[in-house]
Structures are given as C-alpha cells and as structure tokens.
C-alpha cells in the first residue's frame, strides 16, 4: 500500500490539476493580484489560487517584486519582506520590477572595483611606494593576503624599482641612525658601545 501526501485544497496542482493560468504569460494583473493578496495577509497557497498559478510558479515571481538588491533573499523571507515594503503604502513594485537583476559576474566586478576604490588600489603611486617600502622589511610578519595585495598593486603599476630604491634608502638611513653615537660614527674597531 502506497501512501500519498495529503493534498491541499487551495493548490490545484497538488491534486494533479493544472492551475487555470498555467503556462500563460505573467501579466501586470497577476502581480497586482499578488500584491493585493499580500496586503490582505494571504499565504503562498492562497495567493497562488487567487491568481491561478501554482506555488512552484509563484515563488520566483515573488522575487521579481523585490528591489533588485534584495532578490537574493531566502524563499521563506520574500513574502514577509514584500509585506514589510508594502506596509508604508508607498512601495512602487512596478518600479522594482523594472530594475534589472545583476548577474553574479556584475556583482563581483562591482565589489572588486569598490575594493580598489577604497583599499590599496585607491592609494596614489607615492602612497603605495611609501607603504610598500615601509613594510618591505616586515613582509614576513604581514598576513599573506595583505602582502599579496600590496605586491599585486606594486607590480600592476610597474613600481618595483621605485619601491626597491626607497626600501634600500630607508634601510641605509636606519643603519646610519643606529650606528650614530652622539654624532660620532661607529668604527669597526670599536668593541664597546660605551
């Protein structure tokens, strides 16, 4: 004996029937019906029945009603978010639908551009050279990701020789300062620092 899942009276698709608008293009009236049912506090099944669609077909369409930057929300958060947006009464769901959804590639490109705008990439050449030459002696103590980011920016701008020259000058100045005793330089023959 096989058991079947209980059917839901509200969803014709659960009884094997196709909803009356199955396969038809989605219209503005469909979306207006979704928003009206949402305002009235209807659940997914009831909304689907009202507009003649299956719950399965309804779920992705609900996302289209959200602002483009919120379409990533988990499925169970979409309807509550629509209700929250609609609560003020001035939510323009038609304008939200007109917003194009950005692809993952576009989002990644924007994130990388923002990182360059605010991170190491935003430094001027002089600032990058100063940073790279300053941390050159401590590179082993830097987190690997930071070291790679600085090196990538230096290589990308072709500043390797400038960084090397500045780092060597800084080391020479540090050694000179270390070996300078009251203005008198150390000599190799000095055995005592006092």
Quick one: residue 158, left, alpha or beta (phi over 0 = left, psi -120 to 50 = alpha)? Answer: left
Residues with Cβ within 8 Å of residue 151, at least 6 apart in sequence: 132
Q: Which residue has the tokens 């330089």?
A: 185
**What DSSP state is assigned to residue 139?**
G
User: Each residue of 7-42: pLDDT tens digit?
Assistant: 444 544 455 678 888 889 999 999 999 999 998 999
pLDDT score of 90 = 83
Strand partners for 185: 180
Distance in angstroms (rounded) separating the CA atoms of residues 174 and 178: 6
User: Each residue of 86-144: pLDDT tens digit?
Assistant: 887 789 999 999 998 877 788 788 877 776 677 788 888 998 898 888 888 776 688 88
* pLDDT grade for 4, boundaries at 50, 70 and 90: very low
Record the pTM: 0.48
User: Each residue of 43-88: pLDDT tens digit?
Assistant: 999 999 999 999 999 999 999 999 998 988 888 999 999 999 988 7
């Amino acid at each position: 004996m096989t058991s079947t899942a209980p059917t839901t009276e509200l969803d014709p698709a659960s009884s094997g029937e196709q909803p009356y608008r199955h396969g038809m293009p989605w219209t503005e009236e469909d979306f207006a019906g979704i928003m009206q049912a949402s305002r009235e506090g209807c659940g997914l099944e009831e909304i689907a029945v009202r507009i003649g669609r299956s719950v399965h077909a309804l779920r992705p369409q609900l996302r289209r009603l959200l602002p483009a930057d919120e379409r990533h929300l988990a499925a169970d958060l979409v309807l509550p978010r629509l209700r929250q947006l609609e609560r003020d009464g001035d939510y323009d769901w038609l304008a939200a639908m007109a917003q194009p959804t950005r692809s993952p590639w576009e989002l990644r490109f924007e994130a990388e551009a923002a990182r360059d705008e605010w991170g190491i990439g935003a430094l001027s050449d002089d600032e990058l050279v100063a940073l790279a030459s300053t941390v050159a002696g401590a590179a082993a103590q830097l987190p690997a990701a930071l070291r790679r980011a600085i090196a990538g920016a230096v290589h990308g701008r072709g500043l390797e020789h400038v960084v090397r020259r500045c780092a060597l000058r800084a080391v020479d100045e540090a050694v000179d300062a270390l070996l300078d005793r009251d203005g008198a330089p150390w000599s190799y023959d000095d055995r005592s620092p006092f």
